[in-house]
Chain A
Amino acid sequence: GENVEQHPSTLSVQEGDSAVIKCTYSDSASNYFPWYKQELGKGPQLIIDIRSNVGEKKDQRIAVTLNKTAKHFSLHITETQPEDSAVYFCAASMGTNAGKSTFGDGTTLTVKP
Chain B
Amino acid sequence: NAGVTQTPKFQVLKTGQSMTLQCAQDMNHNSMYWYRQDPGMGLRLIYYSASEGTTDKGEVPNGYNVSRLNKREFSLRLESAAPSQTSVYFCASSSMSSTDTQYFGPGTRLTVL
Interface size class of B (residues with CB under 8 A): 20 to 34
A97→B105 CA distance, assembly (Å): 22
Contact, CB under 8 Å: B48 / A98? yes
A104→B90 CA distance, assembly (Å): 16
Contact, CB under 8 Å: B104 / A106? no
Contact, CB under 8 Å: B107 / A101? no
* Proximity string of chain A (67-109) to chain B, C-beta cutoff 8 Å, 1 when within and 0 when not: 0000000000000000000000101011101111111111000
Report if B53 contacts A (CB, 8 A).
no
Contact, CB under 8 Å: A89 / B98? no
A106→B40 CA distance, assembly (Å): 7
Chain A contact residue count (CB 8 A cutoff): 30
A41→B94 CA distance, assembly (Å): 21
Using a CB–CB cutoff of 8 Å, the interface residues on chain B facing chain A are 4, 31, 33, 35, 40-45, 48, 50, 56, 58-59, 90, 92, 94, 96-99, 101-107
Using a CB–CB cutoff of 8 Å, the interface residues on chain A facing chain B are 1, 6, 9, 31-32, 34, 36, 41-46, 49, 51, 89, 91, 93-95, 97-106
